[in-house]
Structure formats: C-alpha cells, structure tokens
Structure 1
C-alpha cells in the first residue's frame, strides 16, 4: 500500500503556493508603467539614461574630432614629404644635367679619352658621392612617407569607427529621448489629475543616483535655465513673484538644497504639488509645481537627495520648478533665494 506521507505534504505546499500567488502584487501596483509610482520611476530612469547617452555621445564626438585632426596632420606631413621627394628628384636631375654640361655634351667614352686621369677620377668621385647622397635622401624620405601613410590609414580607420559609433549613440539618444518625452506627458497628466482631485499620490521612492554631492548646499536642479526671478511683476501673480523659477522639463529630478526635515507635502492651489523643507537655523525652502513627490511629511533629507520631480501643476504656464526660501514654512515670508544660496556657496 503506497504511503500517505507524500499526499499529506502536497496539500500544504499547494496552499503555500496559492497564498504566494494571491499576495503577489499585480502589474497595476508593482511599479509597472500604468501606476503613478512606476511611471515616476520610469521617467527618473530614462532621465538618467538620456544624460548618460548624451555624455557618451559628447565624449565620442570629442574623440572623433581629435582623430580627424590627427588625420589632417598626417595629410600635411605627407604632403611635405612628397614635396621633399620631388625636390630631391629635381636635385638629382640637376646633377645629371650639370654632369652632361661639364662634359660638353660629349659621349662618356670620349670624355674619358680626353680628360686628365686625375681630374676624371676626382670628377667621377664627386658626382658619385652627390648621387649617393641624393639617393639616400630619397630612400629615407620614401620610408618616412610609407610610415606616415600607414599612420594616416590607422587614424582614418579609427576616425571612421568613431563616426559609426557616434551615429549609433545618436540614434540611441534619440530613442531614449522619445521614450522620455512620452513618459513625461503621461506623468504630467497623472499629476494634473491628482491636483484637480486635491489629493497627493503616495510618495514615490526613486532610486537615488550614486552619491555625487559632497557639498553641504546645492542648486535644487542639476541642469536648468533661470526664468522668472524674485520680485518679478506680471499678471500671473497677485503681487510679485516670490521665488526663483528654474525652467526644466517635466520629470526632472528635484533635489533638496540642504539637509533638513520635510514639514509639508501638499497638492492643490496655485502651487500645485509642492514640498516644504525646514533647514537647521530655521530657514525653509519650497519646491512647487511638481509632477511627483518622493518624500513624506516628517522625512529627513540630505543635500542633493531627490525629493520629487518637476512638473507644471497649479498656476503654471509651462514646465518649471518654482523655488522659494522662506523665514517660516508659510507663504508671505519669502526672501530672494539667489543671494541666499550664494551665501551658502551655490552660484546660479
């Protein structure tokens, strides 16, 4: 009679497998492209990939320019060698013509018959030595020309290889940027829907890049163009502009400018999705019009940490980061952030 032990073990195993399948997150919530967290992470990843592809392309382009300059130098040297060989051939021709003219155009046998033996020996030796010098110079120049031609061929092959690699890198960069643009558009749509509903989505825990910040204070975004500045007037603001705007694409990682604690994360209103951080000493910094947040209220942050992603939520005419420095966490206590950052060693 077969043992019942295998069947008794089989039931718990099947139940455990079923429990694992039930507990496993679905694609809609495990960071897939359809979820807000997955989309934010995708944008951040593509942002880094685009930056890396651009860096590699620029490095390849500089290498290609260096190789092309080397090819041009070899061409110039080859041209000089060829001119030198032509000149040496001309010298050899002049020697032959001078020898002929010195003999009065007589055949060599007649010159030998009429000439003084000692003069003939000296003349022949001089002509022979001159011919030898010119021949040696021509051979030496030919060897140099061959070496230069080989070096030029190597440089040209390296240049062409770099050009092919650069074309591949350019295509890869374009492909990444197209994917990034599409993901940014979806992220912006999700952010606007959250702000319209007045409820912030959960914080997105973005994979932070390798530690690159060694300073205690940094700019809120790594690459940017400055747009509206503190105190600017315009129809978009009730009074005057209360911060410094950084024009950046949707999804650009936003960094904490210094160490501190998150005192506010909110959605809705003129600032859209925003974060406020209090720093040691009492000053606060605000990051507004975001498309995603990567911290929760109460979190501690360090300089350069990604705390969110830029967007165009709230009262905004285009993608940018609105950055403020405040004496208190509330509106109405803002001061000019540019000189404040300058005092902390950050020049915009």
Structure 2
C-alpha cells in the first residue's frame, strides 16, 4: 500500500557517497520475524511480538507488516472468532481488509479504476470497519483502531466531519502519532475535498505545536510538495521557489530534524527524505544536501514515488546529484 509508510534499505559505497538502494524492510529486528510468522499463520508469535510493543504509534509499522502479508485473511478471522473478547485479532482482521481493499483499487487515478474494482474496494473497507469498531470497543484506550479507521474512512469517503472525528479520536490517545497526522493531511488536501489553505494551516499547527525534534515537521514539507504537484508546469516551479515557501521549510526543519531532541525512531528516514525532496524542488541546495547526507543514501518510497512511481531510488539519485551531493 502506498500509505506514507517508511521502508528501510541496504547501503553500499561508491565514489565517496552511499549507494541508494530500496528494500521493504526496516531496521527493526522484529519486522522479519513478524513477517515470517504472519506468512505461516503463527498466531502465537504474531501476538507475542505485537503485545511486546507499546500500543500506539510504536506498533504502526508492525501492524502493517502483518496486514500487508498475503494470506493473512485466510486465518486471522478464525482467530478473531475463536477469541471473542480479544481486540488484537480484530484489529488485524480489520487492517488486513483495509490493505486488501487498497490492493483492489490500486494506486491509479479514480478515472482509471473500474466500477468492479471500486465495488471490491468498498466492500472490503466496509468489512474492515466492522472489525475495527469491535476492536475499538474492546480496547477503548487504543489509538490503533482509530488510526486504521482513518485509512478506511478516506477510501469510503466518509466526509470531512467524520474523518476529523476519527483523527481526533486517534490523537487523544496518541497525540503525536505520525501516521494519524499523515492521514489527516491527505484528508484536508484539495484532491480529497479540502483546500491548500486548510492543508498548510493543519501542517504548520501540527508541526510547531509538537515538542522540538518532532517527526511532524514532515507535514510542512509534504504540504508544499502536494501544492506543487497540483499545479501545471511553470506555475509549479514558481510556487515552490517562493521565498516564503523556503522560509516555511526552514522553520519546520529547525523544529524537527535539526532540533537536538530529534531521534532515529520509526519514521525518521521518511522525514529526511521528504525534506530532501521539498528543499530540492525549492532550489535550497545546501539544505537538500544536508538531508541527503543525513539519510546516508537510505531511500523511502514516499515521497520519491511522486516523482517516479516505478523507481523512487532513481528519483532520489537524480535530485541528490542536482544538489551536488
């Protein structure tokens, strides 16, 4: 799923700089263990790994690891039905249906998606929501069911008011949940029925309202990229190279990855890659080099897939070279 998630990668060296190479595994040692357990229907191991991780943002990547694994739908619903009072299998059953829904829809533009694809998409998302609401009722303090409902709700086009309530339900439980904020940023984008003004206001308030070192600084970079993408050739460059855009990016960077409290935790690479792309487009070569250097050649699929959907690494390399790194 192209859902703003982080992918790690393997590094090499060439000509004094890291060779960018994309892989679909992060540095988290539990990811491979969990992926193997999910593929072999090893529920005991899946539960052990997930329950050992604090609920909330810290579980997000691991939940997607399970639910993006083919075949999980063939056994997880049986586990949920066998454990009627357990929230975790219901959460996974719901998220697996979300993942399968977006697989059916594909990442194509709406006009290129068939009626049959949309029917399967919506059917799977509606099934997902039933499981997710059950999980939320069983564990009212969990943020994860509400975050997952943000993802399903966008696909079902539940509308801005319902989407906002789901976002607020997530952040009441996990205030600086990166995935929740990423979903809400997309929700308020013009392409999903919002506006550029609403998108930028949400991004800036979220980023600067969080503690120093926040991952949420990424929202500012992504918002500028989103507006740039919405414009025709010519006006797009004129927009992204405005002095006020550069000032906005630097303000967010100072409060995010440049801050002394910034730490390498889930999502940090995607933050650096997002700023690398935004600063590159803005013509801020020194700031872009700083991000490319800090990322050490480690590419994340988002946001580079916006520039080259089939080869994000090629896009990263191209813009790294333009930055003189």
Structure index of larger Rg: 1
Where is the helix percentage greater, Structure 1 or Structure 2?
Answer: 2
Whether these two folds match at TM > 0.5 is no
Question: How does the TM-score come out when normalised to structure 1?
Answer: 0.22
Question: How does the TM-score come out when normalised to structure 2?
Answer: 0.24
Where is the strand percentage greater, Structure 1 or Structure 2?
Answer: 1
